[in-house]
Amino acid sequence: MEIKKEEAVFLLKKMMQIRQFEDKIWELLSKNIAQGGSHLYAGEEAVAVGAISVLNPDDYITSTHRGHGHAIAKAGKLPELMAEILGKATGVCKGKGGSLHLADLSQGNLGANGVVGGSLGIATGAGLSIKLRGTKQLVVCFFGDGATNQGIFHESLNMAAKWSLPVVYLCENNLYGMSVSVKRASAVEDLTKKALAYDMPSENIDGMDILAVRKTVRKWVDFARDGKGPSFIVCDSYRYYGHSRSDAKVYRTREEEKFWKGRDPIILFGKKLIEENILQEEEIKGLESEVFDEIEQATKFAMESPLPKPEALYEDLYV
């Protein structure tokens, strides 16, 4: 395994941050401290962290309704993100966006989206903007398996392929669009086939293996940076929690959940690092407790932060 210790620690810690962040949100939801909904990313950490770790800071991403993981991986600050999810004035979007609309333009995160497939056009346009401005940036557009059945998915892939835009379309296939499985919703189960119609290179990989994600995404990132155009990657993955708080998960079996949790991306990567003698078990435990403290601090910050002032209601609507 060709990975430096420093880098391994960074990747492992980021994944731990996402996992513990999501577990904390679940706890806050259960206690009704966090209101509304939150679609949790736990289980899919290797995709966001792996893909974003090979990007430059000025590269863009677009995210999804299940966007906490992308926001954390794209240099999001845990306290600001937690505060945003609680609707606080100190949140990254001043409490106006919430879980479904985490965005940080200063870090190149063009935003999560409450509409499935809602950010595919935005990502394509950011790719066009890069081309017109003549920079070396690129876009990674995250979306789920459900989005591949939306019209704008096909419109965007067609447009990006025709214009050879620097966009990596990254599908997180977690097997279900809310409750309906890929099997039941999509005429093709192998989602990479959908890119064939646009003559776009595509690849299906194990989204639970962060090193596989990094390797593949890096390949297609280089491809885009070389001006060779867009690509389509399908990462097989699994969301541990249900679609949202109210989901009784009647559409999937406990055996299936057990199978995927047996391939947990954080445990898998940790084991590998121990096997390869890059990290010791104690160090991993140390990282876990470091992250635990960070999440506690972020939660404290968020809970103690004020709600937006009433005058904020009409702020930031127009320039």
Which positions touch another protein (CB under 8 A)?
60, 62, 91-97, 101, 103-106, 110-111, 113-115, 118-130, 132-133, 151-152, 155-156, 158-159, 162, 315-319
Residue 93 CB coordination number (10 Å): 19
- Residue closer to another protein by CB (options 20, 156) is 156
- Residue closer to another protein by CB (options 96, 263) is 96
Q: Give min distance, CB of 221 to another protein, in A.
A: 17
Q: Give min distance, CB of 149 to another protein, in A.
A: 14
Spatial contact of 46 and 267, defined as CB atoms under 8 Å apart: no
Q: Give min distance, CB of 225 to another protein, in A.
A: 16
Q: Give the Cα separation of 239 and 318 in Å (integer).
A: 37
Backbone angles phi, psi at 172, to 5 degrees: -90, 100
Name the H helices within the chain: 5-30, 45-52, 68-73, 78-85, 120-133, 151-163, 182-185, 193-196, 210-225, 254-261, 265-275, 281-304
Residue with token string 């890096």: 218
User: What would the two tokens of residue 104 be?
Assistant: 């940080």
Q: Give min distance, CB of 317 to another protein, in A.
A: 5
- Residue closer to another protein by CB (options 150, 181) is 150
- Residue closer to another protein by CB (options 2, 316) is 316
Q: Give min distance, CB of 113 to another protein, in A.
A: 8
User: What would the two tokens of residue 316 be?
Assistant: 């930031």
- Residue closer to another protein by CB (options 197, 267) is 197
